[in-house]
Amino acid sequence: MQRYLVGGAVRDQLLGIKSKDRDWVVVGSTPEEMLAKGYQQVGADFPVFLHPETKEEHALARTERKSGRGYTGFICDFAPDITLEEDLKRRDLTINAIAMTESGELVDPYHGAVDLKNGILRHVSEAFEEDPLRVLRVARFAARFHHLGFQVAEETRNLMSAIAASGELESLTAERVWQETQRALGEKAPWIFIRVLRDCRALCPLLPEIDRLFGVPQVEKYHPEVDTGIHVLLCLEQAVKLETDTDTRFAVLCHDVGKGLTPEDVLPQHINHEKAGLPAIKQLCERLKTPKSAKELALLVAEFHTHCHKALELRPGSVVKLLDRCDAWRRPERFENFLLACEADARGRTGLESCPYPQVQFLREALVVCREISPKELVAKGFQGTKLRQQLDRLRIEAVKQIDRQSFA
C-alpha cells in the first residue's frame, strides 16, 4: 500500500497558493485493508475513505470506462494492481494530474509541472472527451487562473468544441451545471468562464439566454462597447472589483437578458427590456435550479436597474416606491447587493470603468432616513390598515424630500 498527495493540493503548492483540501490516492490496497487500518468509508460510487486521524480523503486508485451518456456514464475499476499512472491518466487537466510522495517527490507522468510553469490548461488524454462536465471545469479553471496568465491549449479547446457539437452537454444535470457556474462566478475572473464557453460554442447549449446577447447592438452614446454580450462581460469584471458575492454576480450576468429578445427592427434601442427579460430569467433559474436568493436578486436587478441609474432624477415618491419594491426595509443586505449590481452595470462600459456613480450613496441615504420612521410609533398613535400605510408613505416621502441631492451630484 502506497499513498500519494494528488490533484489541487499538489497543483496549488507548486503555484504557491494555499489549498483548502488535501486529497490522496492509495495504490495497491483494497477496501478491506483500508477498513482494517481504521479508515472510514464514504461515498457510494467508488471507495473513498477518511483518514482515521486527519479525516483527509483517500481514494483507491481507479480507472474509468465510458458506459453511457453524461458525466455519470462510467464503469470504475479500483483493483489493487491499478498503477498511479493509470489513475492520473483519467484526470481532466495535466496540472491536476501531478502526484507527490509522502517524502515530497513529484510523480508527473503527463508533464503537468511544465504546463503549470507555462500557464497552459491542457487535457491529459483523449479520455477527456468522455466527460462533458469537463468543458465547464476547464472554463472555471481558466477563470481561476486568468490572473496568472493561464490559457486553454488549442488541442483542448478543440476537444471542448467537439463535446459541445456532440450534444453531450445536454446530458448534464441542472445541479452540476449550476454548481460549476456558481463556483466560476466566485473566481477571480468570472467573465473568462463565459468567454471560454462561448469560444468553444458551449455557451449556447448551457446558457442560451446569455449567449444570445452577443452581437446585439446598443446605443453607442451610452454603450461605447456597443455589443451587449461584451457589456455583460465588462459588468462582471466591475462586479469583481466591487467585491460582490456570487448571487450578485449572477444578477449582473442576467441583468440585460431582455436585450436579447429585442425585435431587430427597433435596434439598437431596447424599450422595456427590463421587464421583457423577466420570463427568460425565470426560465433560466428554473432550468438550472438556482437557489431562491440568486433568482430573486437576478429578477430584482433586471427589473429595476434603470430605476437605480435614474435615482437622482426620480421624484421622492418614486424613490420610496423603489425602496418598497426592493423590500429594502426588511432586506437591507439584499438591497445593498442590488446597488452593487447596478453600479457594476453603470461601470461595465468601455472607457467608463471609473465613472462616478452617486446614485448608490443617494439611495443608501434615502434608506437610512426612511428607516428612521417607525411603523410601531404610528400604530401607537392609532394608525391602522390603509391609513397606516398612507401615513408611513407620506412621512417617508417627506424624509426623502429633505435630502440634499446636490451633495451627490
Cβ–Cβ < 8 Å for 400, 370: yes
- CA angle centred on 133, ends 9 and 23, rounded to 5°: 20
- CA dist., res. 151 & res. 218, Å (int): 30
Give the residue numbers spanning the domain of 34.
1-111
- Answer whether residue 124 is part of any domain: no
In this structure, are 243 and 104 located in the same domain?
A: no
Domain-located, residue 311: yes
Provide the number of structural domains found in the chain: 2
The answer to whether residues 101 and 247 belong to one domain is: no
Task: Give me the pLDDT at residue 68, please.
Answer: 56
**DSSP 3-state of 131:** coil
Q: Which grid cell is 368?
A: 437610512
Q: Are 242 and 236 in contact (CB under 8 A)?
A: no
Q: What is the pLDDT of residue 400?
A: 97
Cα three-residue angle 393-394-396, rounded to 5 degrees: 65
Residues in the chain: 409
Beta strands in 32-170 (DSSP E): 40-42, 48-50, 57-60, 63-66, 74-77, 99-100, 106-107, 120-121, 151-152
Structure confidence at residue 78 (pLDDT): 81
Could you give the CA distance from residue 390 to residue 383 in angstroms, rounded to a whole number? 9
Out of 89, 111, 133, pick the residue that ends a domain. 111
Closest by alpha carbon to 130, among 77, 195, 74?
74
Angle subtended by helix axes 190-199 and 228-241, to nearest 10: 150
The segments of the chain whose pLDDT lies below 70 read 44-45, 66-75
Residue 230 within any structural domain of the chain? no
In angstroms, the CA 321 to CA 121 distance is 49
Tell me the HSE value of 311 on the side-chain side, using a 13 A CA sphere.
Answer: 29
> Rounded to whole angstroms, how far apart are CA atoms 130 and 90?
10
Identify the domain boundary among 111, 146, 166.
111
Cis peptide before 224 (omega within 30 of 0): no
What's the grid cell of residue 343?
A: 453600479
**Residue 202 domain flag:** no
Residue 380 and residue 245 in one domain: yes
Which grid coordinates belong to 201? 460554442
Residue 135 belongs to a domain? no
CB proximity list for 211: less than 8 A, separation 6 or greater = 198, 203, 204, 229
Tell me if 254 is assigned to some domain: yes
Instruction: Give residue 72's pLDDT.
Output: 56
Domain-located, residue 184? no
Q: Of 62, 91, 111, which marks where a domain is finished?
A: 111
* pLDDT given at position 66: 62
Q: Is residue 333 part of a domain?
A: yes
- Amino acid (1-letter code) at residue 68: G
Residue 215: CB atoms within 10 A of its CB come to 12
At 65, which CATH number?
Answer: 3.30.460.10
